[in-house]
Amino acid sequence: MEAFKSQNNLAQREKPDVGPVSVTIPASPFMQKLGYGTGVNVYLMKRSPRGLSRSPWAVKKINSKCNSSQQSIYQQRLNDEAKILKNLQHPNIVGYRAFTEANDGSMCLAMEYGGEKSLCDLIEERSAKRLGPFPAATIFKVALSMARGLKYLHNDKKLLHGDIKSSNVVIKGDFEAIKICDVGVSLPLDENMTVSDPDMHYIGTEPWKPKEALQDDGIITDKADIFPFGLTLWEMMTLSVPHLSFGDEPDDEDESFDEGSFDEEAYYNALGTRPALNMDELDSSYQHMIDLFSVCTSEDPKKRPSAACIVEVLEASLAQG
């Protein structure tokens, strides 16, 4: 798309020092479980001391079922996430609240919570109800909010998020607020918007990985966030997980997974490529989002727009009505 032109606004990355603060985190059984991720669980912590109403927090804790070596890895990621998150402040990035030790001795990261669900949850709910693609206007809103958050991470904080996908986007209410979360595997970007530190490795999540992250000698830049950003828009248009196809949808209520329907070779061959869209389900109102998805999922990272460029184009479109 010609409208997408490169744009850079570079700033120095700050390095905060995060230590435990005096906050009492209840034991896990006394908090409502909100969800989970790799090696962690997320809980709702309600705070109403002395009868005063306070905003609740989302608390991330290491899953106690992990073995000791796994816990060490996930604890380091949580430490890294706390350090990074404390230094971030943007309306489209989940806010830091505290990093402290729980009663059981584990370290916990407390974040803002406003009654959110993950975008992944909403996609699954919409799929279960067979409602079809999200409205084009809703996808546009998510795209602009995510792009603003990524522009802030890339340009202002010199950080690659490193794991963009629908489950790492939280939604408040009827898309009143849209925020990127889970910065635990973020990577520092140099002045060329490249991950140049040889000790830093892109982790990501397999179905959303760009081609360069699947290659041993791939150069990781800020554009490694743009590919999964495009796939997140695809998720909203298809209500599916990228590259995971289990054959035709069954007609009855029993939609249990049939391992035999999964083509493993086709899946691995498809990773890092642009998945197809069912154009019969998308009318002309989706064209702008289809174009954005297409340019963002180019296998060549140099052909993908920057987050700043996406924001510029979408804001111009918004201004034009």
Whole-Å CA distances, 110 to 62, 150, 183: 12, 22, 13
Cβ-based neighbours of 71, under 8 Å, separated by 6 or more = 39, 62
**Type of residue found at 245:** S
**Rounded CA separation 245/228 (Å):** 18
**Rounded CA separation 294/291 (Å):** 5
Is the separation of the CB atoms in 214 and 224 below 8 Å? Answer: no
Is the separation of the CB atoms in 100 and 22 below 8 Å? Answer: yes
**Rounded CA separation 2/316 (Å):** 14
Whole-Å CA distances, 199 to 13, 161, 188, 204, 278: 18, 16, 11, 16, 41
Cβ-based neighbours of 305, under 8 Å, separated by 6 or more = 1, 4, 5, 6, 226, 295, 296, 313
Instruction: Point out the catalytic residue in the list 163, 182, 222, 225.
Output: 163
Q: Give 3-state DSSP helix, strand, coil % of the chain, rounded to 5.
A: 40, 15, 45
Our answer to whether residue 163 is catalytic in this structure is yes
Whole-Å CA distances, 16 to 23, 153, 170, 189, 295: 20, 15, 25, 17, 35
Task: List the one residue out of 225, 249, 244, 234 whose CA is nearest residue 306.
Answer: 225
Catalytic positions: 163
